Amino acid sequence: MTNFNSIPVAEFAARLTAMTKDEVFSVMSDLEAASESVEGTERDEVLSRIGLIEEEIGKRFPGQLLAPYQDWKKRNR
């Protein structure tokens, strides 16, 4: 798992647009796991990045919310 907190938020957001959907979903999965093991401001940082990924998924799959990600998770467990 990459330490996404070391990447500035603006750079992280820019990287998302260049990622494949599988890469975006993989990062989301990593961040979800990270959010369960951190607290305080570190958790806030992780949650802000999760929010950015949710926005990116919304742009790529309009009107589907997180369904494509949930389907990906089921296939990749």
Q: Using CA atoms, how far apart are residues 56 and 21, in angstroms rounded to an integer?
A: 10
Look up the pTM and report it: 0.89
Number of compact structural domains in the chain:
1
Give the pLDDT confidence score for residue 63 in this predicted structure: 96
Domain around 9: 4-75
- Low-confidence stretches of the chain (pLDDT < 70) are 1-2
Give me the pLDDT at residue 3, please. Answer: 72
pLDDT at position 62, please? Answer: 97
Please give the Cα distance from 60 to 5 (Å, whole number): 24
* CA distances to 2, 3, 45 from 6, in Å: 9, 6, 10
The confidence score (pLDDT) of residue 49 equals: 96
